[in-house]
Amino acid sequence: MDSPNKLLIVDDNEDILSTFYEFFNSLGYEVKTARDGFAALKLLKNKSIFFDCLITDLVMPNISGVGLISIAKKEYPHLKIIAMTGYGGQPGALASEAKADFVFFKPVDLLKIENKVSELINQKNDKQ
Amino acid sequence: MTTTPLIGVSKSILKIKELIHHVANTCLNVLITGATGVGKEVVAQNLYAESARSTQNFVKINCAALPETLLESELYGYEKGAFTGAHKKRPGKFQTADKGVLFLDEIGDMPMALQSKMLHVLQSGEFSPLGSDQEYKTDVWVIAATNHNLEESMKQKMFREDLFYRLNIIKIDIPPLRKRKEDIPSLIEYYFRLYKSEYPDNQGTRPDSDILTKLCNYSWPGNVRQLQNCIKKQMILNSWEKIFEELTQEHPEIAPPILKENQQNGTQVYINQEFSNARTSIISEFVDLSTSSDKLFEDLSLKKIKKMASDKVEKEVIAFVLEKVGWNRSRASKILKISYKTLLYKMNEFKVLPPA
């Protein structure tokens, strides 16, 4: 059996985190969550899990989503990254500049995000 | 440049140290926030010292200290003849900080016109000196600091949103000293040793445990810088009692305002409250902010507050002048340019009494 795809979800809003966790978990993904960019970075650096996809909010304390995307794209080029933002165009544009694979604007549609996640992960697997 | 270490054992300082360690080599823009005197520049220095850029320049500019045109020419430099008095070409900070760090202190005070120019440089990595049409490439790591609440400044259209998000990639917020009392003993020890080594002949002694407790419970509105000054003073006065007396006189409201810490909502709420502290502390001198807003707005009349504020200042000025002239009322009234009768009336109204 294939091992489940591994997701890291980052948001400073506890409700969003738990909703995403339940949703992706029920679809068979292995999900980890972090409440800010710094906590997420530590999970990425801890090599026990190799994540397939990172879904991150943008405006957060300490390391912002944009910061996290920049660092992650440099250090883990194979990681697919989806950004979500509720703060208008500015952070979204910065996320694209930091080479996020896709940017969603809040409120987000979980099904659409899941479609994007599986599309990105399949792209990645096709290339390998 | 000697780097001042980040002193402290509190959770927030330890976390900041860890964060510095993780981001020092990313060269991502950093925004450091916190009240006056908390050590924003110290954090910037530590970021620089831990980065691969530590062999290059650390260039600092204070955006609040210079008038707009001067700030612009300091940042970008100018060509010979760019303006009257530009006798020769001068490189700007963006040029001297190339490959190194540019520390933009008090970024919240940067005029709007310069904010858009700054945004352009941050986006493109290019700038042109005043009077030049040539674009120069620059590779600077921008670390900005402010004691303003930039979210609030954005709402008031005093700070550009696009610039804010571009700077706010890494955000380091330093809590005020009264929120991390456990750092006070180690800060005292550090500065005590430092000043002792700088002036080995001085008589200053360390605080005993009673004084230390008092110092830890003081609200330190001027934060670490105020604490530093106190220790310097102690080196000269060698009397903690006297220093403590001064502290309580400067800020009689020694008990720090207790903010409700909302654990669930996390630190963000807490931080925003922190920023508006300066304003609320001024207002709270005249109205009771702890009442419900209905009651509060009933009490809040500009005319009333104006009277209270001017009374307060008048009282202090009258007392000040009277003390200077040895309570000679007729001299004081001449200095204050009010009639003798008015002075007596005001002394009575404000209860300004000669020492018994």
Closest residue, chain A, to B160 (C-alpha): A90
Confidence category of residue B295, pLDDT binned at 50, 70, 90: low
> What pLDDT does residue B277 have?
58
Name chain B contacts of A88, Cβ cutoff 8 Å.
161
Residue B264 is predicted with a pLDDT of 43
Ranges of CATH 3.40.50.300 domains, chain B: 11-173
- The residue in chain A having the minimum alpha-carbon distance to the alpha carbon of residue B171 is A62
Structural contact between residues B191 and B227, judged by C-beta atoms closer than 8 angstroms:
yes
CB within 8 Å: A64 and B168: yes
Cα distance from A1 to chain B (closest Cα, Å)? 37
Contact call for B170 and A90, based on CB within 8 A: no
- Measured between beta carbons, the chain A residues lying within 8 angstroms of B267 are 61
pLDDT of residue A126: 79
pLDDT in tens, B181-232: 999 999 999 999 999 998 888 888 889 998 999 999 999 999 999 999 999 9
Architecture of domain B11-173: 3-Layer(aba) Sandwich (3.40)
Chain A residues with CB inside 8 Å of B19's CB?
38, 62-63
* CB nearest B26 (choices: A12, A71, A91): A71
Residue B179 has pLDDT above 80, yes or no: yes
CATH 1.10.8.60 maps onto chain B at 179-284
Please determine, for residue B272, whether its predicted confidence score (pLDDT) is greater than 80: no
Give SS3 for B102.
strand
- Which of B162, B173, B266 is nearest residue A12 as measured by Cβ atoms? B266
- Closest chain A residue by Cα to residue B32: A62
- For A15, other C-beta atoms within 10 Å of its C-beta total 8
- Dihedral angle at the C-alpha atoms of B23, B27, B31, B32, nearest 10 degrees? 50
With H, G, I as helix, E, B as strand and everything else as coil, classify residue A31. strand
Beta bridge partners of B141: B101
Contacts of B268 in chain A (CB under 8 A): 12, 61
The residues pairing with B61 across neighbouring beta strands, listed in sequence order, are B104
Question: Is 60 exceeded by the pLDDT of residue B347?
Answer: yes
pLDDT over 90 (residue B118): yes
B268 in A contact zone (CB under 8 Å): yes
State which fold the B179-284 domain adopts.
Helicase, Ruva Protein; domain 3 (1.10.8)
| Cβ <8 Å between A91 and B165 | yes
**Average of per-residue pLDDT across B224-245:** 89
Give me the helices (H) in B77-111, please.
93-96
Residue A48: the pLDDT is: 78
Separation of alpha carbons B334 and B186, rounded Å: 51
**What domains, with CATH codes, occur in chain A?**
6-127 (3.40.50.2300)
Confidence of residue B273 (pLDDT cuts 50, 70, 90): very low
B31 pLDDT exceeds 70?
Answer: yes
Predicted local distance difference test score (pLDDT) of residue B271: 41
Q: CB within 8 A of B333, min separation 6: which ones?
A: B339, B340, B342, B343
The pLDDT-based confidence of B268 (bands split at 50, 70, 90) is very low
Task: Spell out which residues of chain B touch residue A16, defining contact as CB-CB under 8 Å.
Answer: none
Dihedral sign for Cα atoms in the order A87, B15, A81, B53: positive
pLDDT (tens digit per residue) in A93-116: 999 999 999 999 988 899 999 999
What confidence category does residue B12 fall into, taking pLDDT thresholds of 50, 70 and 90? Answer: very high
Which of A35, A61, A88 lies closest to B171 in CB terms?
A61
Domain with CATH 1.10.10 in chain B: 296-350
Set of chain B residues whose Cβ sits within 8 Å of the Cβ of A67: 23, 26, 28, 169-170
Task: Nearest by CB to B267, from A38, A61, A63: name it.
Answer: A61
Residue B274 contacts A where some CB pair is shorter than 8 Å:
no
Residue B213 to residues B209, B222, B305, Cα–Cα distance (Å): 6, 18, 37
User: Which residues in chain A have their CB less than 8 angstroms from residue B43's CB?
Assistant: none
Give how far A90 is from chain B: nearest CA, Å: 6
The predicted-structure confidence for A16-37, as pLDDT tens digits, reads as follows: 999 999 999 999 999 999 999 9
Residue-wise pLDDT for B67-110, tens only, equals 999 999 999 999 998 888 888 999 999 999 999 999 999 999 99
pLDDT of residue B269: 41
Q: Any CB–CB contact under 8 A between B52 and chain A?
A: no
Q: What pLDDT band is residue B260 in, cutting at 50, 70 and 90?
A: very low
Give mean pLDDT, residues B154-180: 96
The minimal CB distance from B161 to the residues A62, A67, A90 is found for: A90
Sign of the dihedral through C-alpha B217, B222, B227, B229 = negative
Report the pLDDT value the prediction gives residue B255, as an integer from 0 to 100.
Answer: 42
What pLDDT score does B291 carry?
A: 61
A13 — pLDDT class (breaks 50, 70, 90): very high
Contact at CB, A64 and B170, closer than 8 angstroms: yes
The class of domain B296-350 in CATH terms is: mainly alpha
State how far the Cα of B206 lies from the Cα of B229, in Å rounded to an integer: 14
Q: What is the largest CA-CA distance in chain A?
A: 43
Which residues of chain B have a CB within 8 Å of the CB of A38?
19, 22
The complex's ipTM? 0.92
If you compute the radius of gyration of chain A from its CA atoms, what whole number of angstroms results?
A: 13
Closest-CA residue in chain A for B29? A67
Residue B278 predicted with pLDDT over 80: no
B28 touches chain A (CB under 8 A): yes
Residue A56 has pLDDT above 70, yes or no: yes
Query: What whole-number distance in Å separates Cα of residue B7 and Cα of residue A3?
Result: 46
Report chain B residues whose CB lies below 8 A from the CB of A61.
171, 173, 266-268
Q: Is B172 on the interface with A (CB under 8 A)?
A: yes
Cis peptide before A107 (omega within 30 of 0): yes
pLDDT tens by residue, A70-82: 999 999 999 999 9
Residue B132, token pair as written in the block: 């030049």
Reported as a pLDDT band with limits 50, 70 and 90, residue A128 is low
Number of cross-chain residue pairs from A and B with Cβ atoms under 8 Å apart: 50
